Amino acid sequence: MQFASDPPIAIKIHKMKQRVRWQEPLIVERGIDQTRLMLDDRTSDSPEFSFLVIGDSGTGRHRGHDPQRHLAERMVHQCDRCRFILHTGDVVYLVGSSEYYYQNFIEPYREFLVGGDHPQRIAYDNMVFKLPFLPVPGNHDYYDLPLIYGLIAQASWPLRRLLRSRIDLDVGWYGSGQGKAYAKAFLDYLIGFKLPGTLEHHLDCHYTAQTDTGRCLRYQPGHFTRLPNRYYTFRSGGIDFFALDSNTFNTPSPIPATSEGEAFRRLLEKRHQELEQQKLQILETSNTLNPDNPEEAEQLDDLDAKLEQIEELTLDINKQLASDETNAIDVEQLNWLRQRLIESWHTQEVRGRIIYLHHPPYVTEATKWYQAQTLAIRGYLRQVLNAVSEVVGSLAQGRPLVDLILTGHAHCLEHLYTLDTGHADSYLNWIVCGGSGYSLRRQRTEGSDIMESFGFSEDSYSRRVAKSLLFVGRQGHGSQKRRPYSFLRIDVQDGNPPKFRVQPIIAERFQGKWSDRTIEPFVI
């Protein structure tokens, strides 16, 4: 019984290209770079500026509280000198349904939207932001719902009643439509668009910024607010930002056709069966709890979280079982990142680089650190950075190739630092910002050091490749349970190389009450 399904990578790539009319003649003729964005916020491009970071925020109704709304209120007070907001993905849970954009996004963030005084009047595909809002898609923004579940969920006999459960699954009719809802909400959706005039007029009105890679989309907060593509780059204050869609290069390596590989496959299949049994037990238990009782409502929230964790683990196992040598990987995007990083290092006015994507290559959150997708993202990003290092060489003068990598997916706030990995991702700062609204997770019991195996058979060995410097996630049990939800304010300082002052903002729920939790800022 699978509540969510993840479209194949080839489908994701194909559908998203259709939606932005990727490299159509009218676009190519105008020399338009569909992966570049220029912010037109009518402020000076000072080297000192700030921005906010949120991720994994798109939760809907909570029983008696709304963490997303509590953080949004704090975000409003952190907006001075902020040029934009980055979102590390999973904008709307559970399956990215357009029906849930109002409840799970528009209403909570109404202060950031034009017309937010009347959020019920704002259509999800016609949002205009007062401050540039720059997301990347998360896995839940691509998820779909099997048709039978969508029909049941919206019919007079709700899904939770069929399953004898009081868990709120936050699903619509079909799910995201293979990322369609996200694309219509945030991308320059060019197929069948109902904008005034022709496509030519639209391109000539909005793709007016001139860059060294061609014309590009001019992002105008308060007016036209769209992104050119699912992955893109922009520059602010001499910092190059690279936004990636990690959902198209997170496929695990194929299981080898050996006796050890077959044994591992059987282990995965057994684990899959165990998770399905746990899912049924959760649904049965939820039916015995009363959501109107505050204590039992807390238990239902925990069961919601556990069910979603099981869904993620099950999907990860499915990806491993289905992986083979024919799996499509987004080579085009990875090559684009390699080339743009090289160009960035050869551009004199650029003094720093930040990458942000959904899936974290390094993390110690209990459900993500060992997932096959985590290791896949680590491997592909390493390949890109290794290739960049070979070209850039001494030009970096001992500096890291990237100053900061921001991710989500793991429902926590975490700062990690890589040690000597044997690759070009050594000695980098990584921040996971995935605790901005949805169910929080705990840190793994294995501790803060990340080990990695090298070599083969009798020659193999392990060494520490990363360490966790800060972890903010769910803590305690029962009445002592703490839920510290979070987002970041990052202040970019002048200088070359630049310094980044990172200020975690925490709103903690404990024993039914909210309070602010102070964490000292750190500089990287």
Write out pLDDT tens, residues 324-371. 766 778 999 999 999 999 999 999 999 999 999 999 999 999 999 989
Query: Which is more confidently placed, 297 or 511?
Result: 511
Give the least confident one: 38-42, 136-140, 191-195.
191-195
Q: What is the pLDDT of residues 293-323, one digit of tens each?
A: 877 777 777 787 788 788 888 888 888 888 7
Q: Is residue 56 part of a domain?
A: yes
The string over 394-421, giving b where at least 16 C-beta atoms fall within 10 Å of a residue's C-beta and e elsewhere, is eeeeeebbbbbbbbbbbbbbbbbebeeb
Any alpha helices (H) in 178-248, and if so which ranges? 180-186, 199-206
Q: What is the mean pLDDT of residues 366-389?
A: 95
pLDDT tens digits along 135-144: 999 999 999 8
The pLDDT score that the predictor gives to residue 63 is 59
Number of Cβ atoms within 10 Å of the Cβ of 297? 19
Residue 125 near residue 189 (C-beta atoms within 8 A): yes
Q: Is 315 part of any domain?
A: no
The answer to whether position 356 is within a domain reads yes
Local confidence band at 471 (pLDDT 50, 70, 90 cut-offs): very high
> Which amino acid, residue 297?
A
Q: Does the pLDDT value for residue 381 go beyond 60?
A: yes
Is the residue at 439 inside a domain?
A: yes
**Structure letter (DSSP) for residue 175:** B
Share of the chain above pLDDT 90, in %: 65
Least confident of 197-201, 322-326, 466-470, 485-489: 322-326
Answer yes or no: is 345 within a domain. Answer: yes
pLDDT tens-place string over residues 217-233: 999 999 988 999 999 99
- Residue 489: pLDDT above 70? yes
Asked whether residue 495 is assigned to any structural domain, the reply reads yes
- Residue 388 predicted with pLDDT over 90: yes
* Closest C-alpha to 418, from 366, 372, 363: 363
- Residue 290's pLDDT is 82
Q: 26 and 199 in contact (C-beta within 8 Å)? A: yes
Q: What pLDDT does 207 receive? A: 96
- Is pLDDT of 262 > 70? yes
Q: Which residues span the domain enclosing 162?
A: 9-253+324-523
Quick check: pTM over 0.85?
A: yes
Domain total in the chain = 1
Residues 6+ apart with CB under 8 A from 290: 296, 297
Asked whether residue 426 is domain-assigned, the answer is: yes
- Domain CATH code at residue 359: 3.60.21.10
Segment 491-508 shows an average pLDDT of: 96
| Average pLDDT of the chain, as a whole number | 88
Give percent of the chain with pLDDT exceeding 70: 90
- Residue with the bigger pLDDT between 149 and 19: it is 19
Provide φ and ψ at 236, rounded to 5°. Answer: -145, 125
- Reported confidence tier of residue 421, pLDDT bands at 50, 70, 90: very high
Asked whether residue 319 is assigned to any structural domain, the reply reads no
